[in-house]
Structure 1
């Protein structure tokens, strides 16, 4: 049984419309593992490389270089929540193990969705 939650996978996000995050890029799986083992889909947050002087917004989480196999400092885009068929997941880079980082993603996602109000 493959674990998905908190895993960072390379995924094909195309085709997209408008401002949706696209291309083949890393994504963070956030859906509950019990559901991941039952359904053919997972909920993900796209990840983008951090450019120099790029502002990190309140609905984004910074990932340091090397976390879960990422080769660059990166940003988790909590405002770009997607549901993907598992067939879009190309390969697994690694897992987020830090409980502090998991908590930060959950809090940022809750902020984005207005769940803490």
Structure 2
């Protein structure tokens, strides 16, 4: 069975405790496509047709034929064997709203322009050690092996200008 993010399936019943949403209701697949393809479980957000107070983690869903609310504060892992009838697929706008509600529920904030991840590169210490090693090698080749080097290895490899 092909399972895509944003699909809505009926999830067959299982036992619940306390305020957990009882299965035996439709749920949105929210796990990523790679996991959906290879894992025996998927992450879902249950839908309810009952009125729920407005919350940042509640999303109105209308694309599956019945007005529902996605309860994004209750993310649940479900064995794929419990997935029943396919009910439909969310619109792109609905899925974007679900994503925002999931981030709100999990306390994940989108990165701003200022919050960029710096690429990992050699530290100043690594560059200094490399320079020392290259200068040593250059001197060794000239003195011990009689090899004349046109230009400087250090300058050529590290992109520095000759003095």
Both structures adopt the same fold (TM-score exceeding 0.5): yes
Q: What's the CA shift for 1:13? A: 4.3
1 or 2 for the larger relative contact order (CA 8 Å, sep ≥6)? 1
Alignment RMSD (CA, Å): 1.6
Q: How does 1:16-55 map to 2 (within 5 A)?
A: 16-51=16-51, 54-55=52-53
More helix by share: 2
Show structure 1 runs of 4+ deviating over 6 A: none
Aligned length: 110
Whether the 8 Å CA contact 1:20–1:80 is kept in 2: the answer is yes
1:113 aligns with 2:106: yes
Gaps of 5+ in 1: none
Larger Rg: 2
- Of 54, 57, 62 in structure 2, the residue corresponding to residue 56 of structure 1 is 54
Gaps of 5+ in 2: 111-163
From the two aligned structures, give the one with the greater strand fraction. 1
Where does residue 76 of structure 1 map in the other structure? 70
For the Cα contact (< 8 Å) 1:40–1:85, is it kept in 2?
yes
Once residues 20 and 50 of structure 1 are traced to their aligned partners in structure 2, the CA distance between those partners, rounded to angstroms, is 15
Q: Deviations over 1:18-76 (max 9, x none)?
A: 1100041000000011111101100000000043xx42211110112xx13x3x21000
**Counterpart position of 1:15:** 15
**TM-score normalised according to structure 2 size:** 0.63
Provide the C-alpha distance between the structure 1 equivalents of 2:18 and 2:100, rounded to a whole number of angstroms.
27
